[in-house]
Structure 1
Amino acid sequence: MTQLIDKRDMDYDRLARVQGAEAFLAETDRVAESVHHTLIADDSKVNRFTGHLTELRVEGAPAGLAERAGAGSADGDYIARAKEYLSSVSGAIGFAAGEPAEFEADPKVTSTSGGMRVVSLQQTLNGIDVWGMAPKVWLREDGTVDGVVGDTASVPGSVPTMPVVPVEAALAAGAAKAAAPVTVESPFGDDALPALDTSAGFRRLSAQARNDQPMTFDQGAFDEAIPARLVYFYMGDAVRLAWSFRFSRARGAVQYHALVEADETTSDRTAPQVLYLQDLSNHVIGGVVVRQNPAETGFALASFPLPLSDYPVKPPPAPAPGLFGPWVTRQNGHVATVGNNVEAVDGVTGKSFEVDLDAAGNALFAPDPDTPEQLVTNIFYGCNYMRDFFVMLGFTEEHGNFQTVNVSGLGHGADPVRAFTHPVAIPGTATMLTRADGLAAEMNMGLVEETGRHTALAMDVVVHEATHGTTNRLVGGLHDANGLREPQSRAMGEGWSDYFALTIFNFSREHEHTVVGDWAIDDPGGIRQRPYDDRYPGDFGDIGQATGGLDYTRIHNVGEIWCAALLEMTRRISAELGGRERGYRVAWQAVVDGLKLTPKNPSFLTARGAILRALKDLKGTAFTEAEYAGVRKAAWGSFARYGMGFDAFCPNTSFIGCRAGTKLPPAGHED
């Protein structure tokens, strides 16, 4: 059986020990008098372990946003109202006088079909998450609070903020438990996993600038890199500062979440105690895939579909029904690499990879390595991943994404991505054919003859080709998806594809990867003229020329300039917004929104203008009014760095007459 450790005393009854139900309800009445409206608390809705209410109903609360109700109210208004209200009624929930009640909000406010706004909060203290405590506040359109639901816990302000247990010692303790022998139940029977050898330790991949920021260690004996962060762990009679880790083994068949003591309570700082160890695995439909390429990530288990939290972008606040549907279709006791979004088949036999469902409805695509089935599984995963990634950025049914059935009724269906894997070299090696909305796209992946490596296993190549489908549809439009025909337009198509092929994976890397196709051709220099680092030499004025060992007369090579500018923009915006997480997400959204704003057959300068306008429209949502000036300067500076400044010029969308410009726009200029 999977081992579990949980040092919490789940029989602990804080409600009885601290005040009792009668006193609790009396306190709720007292708070109601102070806020001048009705609070409804039911002692059956108290989490006895925490002694806090899990549902507070509200009647007669004032309209917090009455003066700006409706469209005039932004997410930030609802968030501010939710935080303010929760603070005012914290005593009714269970916080004692003087106990800190601090919360951070998800920046996106969701809405129900009935118009209720939902603000999701995470309890924190000293910038550190209180593990498992994440309430929600319900508000009507005018800001009137309707209720507060979810768990919170009392955490004394005296809890430590700095760990005394080194993270390396805590990691070793957690890893030792996660590496122990274990029996795993799977759709194909029970598997006894032997112990892993963790004696080689783990190398830190990223630093932790502050206590509330995460860090990452390499995978060591496990399957994936190991994330680490500090949390407060409510245990009933105590609150402990703990290190949080996640371990994956057996190709993801076992995924442990571990909490290891980090405060001065520990009896041995070099051998701390594991407070909590839980197997988080959900043995449902999944597949063994290569998430980047065999050299970097190897083969690992991925669920089909992936949890939305596994993506580097955030899902929409209130996904429409069917927006993120199943990847596979269950039929007659089996599933195959065929679903609403993607139909992946072997290019020789025309067959998908099919596996049986077990009695519980589970299935696992676990092909042998170096088989046609592995290639089909991998391309199926990659195309579905990119479909969901771009949906989160707004490439939905009404914008012409690829689906057999459009659940929303918007756009045209009958157009999944038909993905073919070929065991031999094919013309173009890896290609994507995009047709109009309602006509299926076709991806073909073949062997790189010189290296014997298959492009279906090189996820940067899969991402590159899948991105062509998105850019062709968003710029080209639903009618013909054919809006990237002119030389500069076609070059940008290649640049956009390289950009996403790099940034999607760089989001979680310690060091930025600056080459594409390196694994497929077995060359660390990749398939482009120069690495896409901040020293990339070409600029807009070089288009149409071949000098200094660089040839900018060819479509792919010219596309390098566009990709280099987008990468520079992403770096600078990330620096401006204080980190890669915000910076990448803002840049991705601006690029995709820019695609929607870009007319057919654009020049570099036209597409530049669309991105700058998209950034302006993100003001107040992705970043504040105060931050916008810096973000705008970062974007303009990046384009100017690559010759696409305010004074750049081109007479048309050909490679003729492109003139570089490095100036920033004059004061008062509106993008």
Structure 2
Amino acid sequence: MTQLIDKRNLEYDRLAEVGGADAFLEETARVAESVHHTLIADDNKVNRFTGHLTELRVEGAPALPDGARDGRPDGEYIARAKEYLASVAEAIGFASGEPAEFEADPKVMATSEGLRAVSLQQTLNGIEVWGMAPKVWLRGDGTVDRVVGDTASVGVDVPTMPVVPPETALAVAAAKAAEARTLEGPFGSDELPALDVSADFSRLTQQAGNAQPMTFDRGPFDEAIPARLVYLYMGDAVRLAWSFEFSREQGAVQYHALVEADDRAADRSAPQILYFQDLTSHVIAGRVFRRNPAESTFDRAPFPLPLSDYPTEPPARPPAGFPGPWATRTDGHVSTVGNNVLAVDGATRRSVEIDVDPEGNGVFDTEPDTPDQFVTNIFFFCNYMHDFFVMLDFAEEHGNFQTVNVTGLGRGADPVHAFAHPGSVVGTANMATPADGSAAVMNMGLVAQTGRHTANDADVVFHEFVHGVTNRLVGGLHDAAGLREMQSRAMGEGWSDFFALTTRNYFQDRERTVVGNWVVDNDRGIRQRPYDEEYPGSFGDIGRRPDGLDYTKIHNVGEIWCATLMEMTRRIGAALGSKQRGYRIAWQSVVDGLKLTPKNPTLLVARDAILRALRDLAGHKVTEAEYPAVRQAAWESFARFGMGFDAFCPNASFTGCRAGTQLPPEGHED
């Protein structure tokens, strides 16, 4: 992902403007007295850009009526979360009488141990406050545990009606999205040609409401263009803006633009772009290669694999219909089309189809390095990751990728559309993840300088698939757009590398610490340094270039996050005396932590979500006696990479990150 224009003043310090951290803590104490229970605020967990807390801990809050009852309808948790947030708004940073309005994602996340997370979107006048999307954590009985994530003060005097017509704003944004660009990636560069946007765009749909949601025809782009009004918090101002999203190059390139819409526009006929971002992650992504042609034989694998072939622990109570068939049988044939994945050739748009015998037996018996084999391999890899994450509770109700949701939970109609292109594609490999109910799109292609295909490399396909998981779990099912700020996007890369490596390392005596080495034909892979115990980067290096390294780029900062999670996995395994248990506990705490993580998190916010998820595993996947050592191992891992208890950052940008190596004080509860 690349941020091309960002006119927000990210160095703006609103915290100083509102009286500093001491005033914050005093206000928290006052609000705690009014709600009759304990509120805990940490002055290190304030976004200085917004002047609001990013975490408010809660102790002693009342449960819902009939509080002993667990497993309530989502609506009860949502109502409780919204009511509670309104009651403590001034402790978070809102002034008395200042609007603090929120809409909820209709689906409530639940960790494997029953902690609920309600995803909220700040709004005003029915218009989204862009990027401000906290989560409220609740126990099963409705007791609020924590409020995490970003919010911002938006005055009542902000405009609701645009003075810039949407067509005018769209013309400006489309011209930017249509520009020729050179896209730099780990495999080299791709030249993106300019598009002709001289023709007008026509409105296709328009809905009622202050946000004025509408859709324009696609013009020279790949898909119709959604538009709506949003408020953009700039630091020293709040602007009304038109929001647009563009897709091009078969979905390999996606742009998000915010164009000024209010009366601050100096020229209403030529408004300015306030924010413009390339949303695409330009990274690498029968008889199959289970890893890649150098590390596995080209051999038969059952579709689906038996659960014993996975490193995860088979669920004690499998979800209904799990594991389902990967390939759907129709009239004596099966193809690389199933409930989880639709895999096709990128040029012909055709799946691989084979005949089956009367008992339903058949083999995708392709030849290596052929278009059909690439399609079959990407089909295998995506189905593998689907089932792997279901066993970690990324299930239908959490927004996983399926055509039909057997349980009736979630929206369905969103399998992964996996394209194995015969040639190179923009970025070499990518995955686009819309909201639950809309299909994710994965593209795999040849690496130009090696002639090797990313569909044959688990590193690449697994990495891209995990982008879909993290986008859905952090972003929420409503829009799956929770990783937009710099640190957030970096963690998206780190999570993807982490799962790509650890899913294979579970079975290997020798730990693998590089990614993408086969597909680029380079033992060093595509990252700056191996993810071993000597990895040099630290949280305090973010935004800097220490000792020949570069931590000013998204992927490179993601290395710090991956290295940390791998260290945590090693240390938990050592604490438990079992590598296998260490991996499983680490994976579960990371996936549960994703469900608790609010939109646009810092590394420290995501750290705290993992630690809390780990705590909830005590008495379940780890014993109460084991938990202190496991927690210590996790904290030591974060501290090793500068994310100790005393670490600090003012917001989710790459500025102002201060490393800390301290462990939490005795008695601190995660």
Q: Determine helix, strand or coil for the equivalent of 2:650.
A: coil
Q: 2:289 & 2:476 partners in 1: Cα distance?
A: 32
Paired residue for 1:298? 297
Q: 2:585 & 2:491 partners in 1: Cα distance?
A: 20
The two structures, once aligned, show a CA RMSD in angstroms of 1.2
Aligned partner of 1:474: which letter? L
Unaligned runs of 5+ residues in structure 1 are: 1-68, 72-286
Aligned partner of 1:423: which letter? P
- Deviation, 1:323, is 2.8
Unaligned runs of 5+ residues in structure 2 are: 1-67, 71-285
Paired residue for 1:158? none
Q: 2:319 & 2:349 partners in 1: Cα distance?
A: 34
Q: 1:457 & 1:404 partners in 2: Cα distance?
A: 25
Q: 2:393 & 2:474 partners in 1: Cα distance?
A: 13
Q: 2:299 & 2:496 partners in 1: Cα distance?
A: 25
Q: 1:536 & 1:598 partners in 2: Cα distance?
A: 26
- Deviation, 1:361, is 1.3
Q: 2:539 & 2:577 partners in 1: Cα distance?
A: 29
Q: 1:628 & 1:404 partners in 2: Cα distance?
A: 39
Paired residue for 1:661? 660
Q: 1:547 & 1:531 partners in 2: Cα distance?
A: 16
Q: Determine helix, strand or coil for the equivalent of 1:620.
A: coil
Task: Say if 2:509 is the partner of 1:510.
Answer: yes
Paired residue for 1:222? none
Q: 1:338 & 1:386 partners in 2: Cα distance?
A: 16
Paired residue for 2:353? 354
Task: Say if 2:500 is the partner of 1:501.
Answer: yes
Deviates more, 1:440-449 or 1:310-319: 310-319
Paired residue for 1:583? 582
Q: Determine helix, strand or coil for the equivalent of 2:522.
A: coil
Aligned partner of 1:459: which letter? A
Paired residue for 1:213? none
Q: 1:602 & 1:387 partners in 2: Cα distance?
A: 25
Deviates more, 1:421-430 or 1:562-571: 421-430
- Deviation, 1:548, is 1.4
Q: Determine helix, strand or coil for the equivalent of 1:442.
A: strand
Paired residue for 1:455? 454
Q: Aligned ranges for residues 447-486 of structure 1 at < 5 Å?
A: 447-486=446-485
Task: Say if 2:373 is the partner of 1:374.
Answer: yes
Q: 1:320 & 1:540 partners in 2: Cα distance?
A: 39
Q: 2:411 & 2:358 partners in 1: Cα distance?
A: 36
Q: Deviations over 1:587-618 (max 9, x none)?
A: 00000000001001100000000000000000
When residues 446 and 573 of structure 1 are mapped into structure 2, their CA distance, relative to the original with a 3 A threshold, is same
Q: 1:367 & 1:389 partners in 2: Cα distance?
A: 25
Q: 1:379 & 1:621 partners in 2: Cα distance?
A: 35
- Deviation, 1:496, is 0.1
Task: Say if 2:405 is the partner of 1:406.
Answer: yes
Q: Aligned ranges for residues 168-567 of structure 1 at < 5 Å?
A: 287-567=286-566
- Deviation, 1:653, is 0.1
Paired residue for 1:652? 651
User: TM-score when scaled to structure 2?
Assistant: 0.57
Aligned partner of 1:398: which letter? E
Q: 2:513 & 2:317 partners in 1: Cα distance?
A: 35
- Deviation, 1:298, is 2.1
Q: 2:287 & 2:69 partners in 1: Cα distance?
A: 47
Q: 1:447 & 1:421 partners in 2: Cα distance?
A: 9
Aligned partner of 2:294: which letter? A
Paired residue for 2:18? none
Aligned partner of 1:331: which letter? T
- Deviation, 1:547, is 2.7
- Deviation, 1:369, is 1.2
Aligned structure 1 segments of 4 or more residues deviating by more than 2 angstroms: none
Aligned partner of 1:412: which letter? R
Q: 1:588 & 1:435 partners in 2: Cα distance?
A: 24
Q: 1:658 & 1:320 partners in 2: Cα distance?
A: 42
Aligned partner of 2:667: which letter? G
- Deviation, 1:359, is 2.5
- Deviation, 1:570, is 0.1
Q: Deviations over 1:546-577 (max 9, x none)?
A: 13110000000000000000000000000011
Aligned partner of 1:444: which letter? N
Paired residue for 2:250? none
Aligned partner of 1:572: which letter? R
Q: 1:504 & 1:584 partners in 2: Cα distance?
A: 9
Paired residue for 1:162? none
Q: Deviations over 1:505-539 (max 9, x none)?
A: 00001100000000000000000000000000000
Q: Deviations over 1:338-380 (max 9, x none)?
A: 0000000000000000000012210100101111000000000
Q: Aligned ranges for residues 618-633 of structure 1 at < 5 Å?
A: 618-633=617-632
Q: Determine helix, strand or coil for the equivalent of 1:419.
A: strand
Q: 2:666 & 2:358 partners in 1: Cα distance?
A: 68
Aligned partner of 1:319: which letter? P
Q: 1:326 & 1:359 partners in 2: Cα distance?
A: 17
Q: 1:610 & 1:553 partners in 2: Cα distance?
A: 25
Q: 1:321 & 1:604 partners in 2: Cα distance?
A: 35
Q: Determine helix, strand or coil for the equivalent of 1:550.
A: coil
Q: 1:416 & 1:639 partners in 2: Cα distance?
A: 35
Q: 1:614 & 1:473 partners in 2: Cα distance?
A: 18
Q: 2:343 & 2:301 partners in 1: Cα distance?
A: 17
Q: 1:320 & 1:380 partners in 2: Cα distance?
A: 22
Q: 2:69 & 2:396 partners in 1: Cα distance?
A: 26
User: Of the two, which has the highest radius of gyration?
Assistant: 1
Q: 2:536 & 2:466 partners in 1: Cα distance?
A: 25
Paired residue for 1:26? none
Q: 2:319 & 2:622 partners in 1: Cα distance?
A: 25
Q: 1:625 & 1:579 partners in 2: Cα distance?
A: 17
Q: 1:304 & 1:653 partners in 2: Cα distance?
A: 42
Paired residue for 1:200? none
- Deviation, 1:423, is 1.4
Aligned partner of 2:296: which letter? T
Q: 1:472 & 1:315 partners in 2: Cα distance?
A: 24
Q: 1:534 & 1:300 partners in 2: Cα distance?
A: 34
- Deviation, 1:444, is 0.3
Q: 1:432 & 1:610 partners in 2: Cα distance?
A: 25
Query: Which of structures 1 and 2 has the larger relative contact order (alpha carbons within 8 angstroms, sep 6+)?
Result: 2
- Deviation, 1:70, is 11
Q: 2:574 & 2:524 partners in 1: Cα distance?
A: 26
Q: Determine helix, strand or coil for the equivalent of 1:443.
A: strand
Q: Deviations over 1:358-408 (max 9, x none)?
A: 122101001011110000000000000000000000100000000001111
Aligned partner of 2:425: which letter? I
Q: Determine helix, strand or coil for the equivalent of 1:303.
A: coil
Q: Aligned ranges for residues 69-148 of structure 1 at < 5 Å?
A: none
- Deviation, 1:321, is 2.2
Aligned partner of 2:325: which letter? P
Paired residue for 2:640? 641
Q: 2:359 & 2:477 partners in 1: Cα distance?
A: 41
Aligned partner of 1:641: which letter? R
Aligned partner of 1:406: which letter? N
Q: 1:580 & 1:597 partners in 2: Cα distance?
A: 26
Paired residue for 2:210? none
Q: Deviations over 1:80-137 (max 9, x none)?
A: xxxxxxxxxxxxxxxxxxxxxxxxxxxxxxxxxxxxxxxxxxxxxxxxxxxxxxxxxx
Paired residue for 1:33? none
Q: 1:368 & 1:358 partners in 2: Cα distance?
A: 21
Aligned partner of 2:322: which letter? L
Q: Deviations over 1:454-496 (max 9, x none)?
A: 0000111110000000000000000000000000000000000
Q: Determine helix, strand or coil for the equivalent of 1:495.
A: helix
- Deviation, 1:628, is 0.5
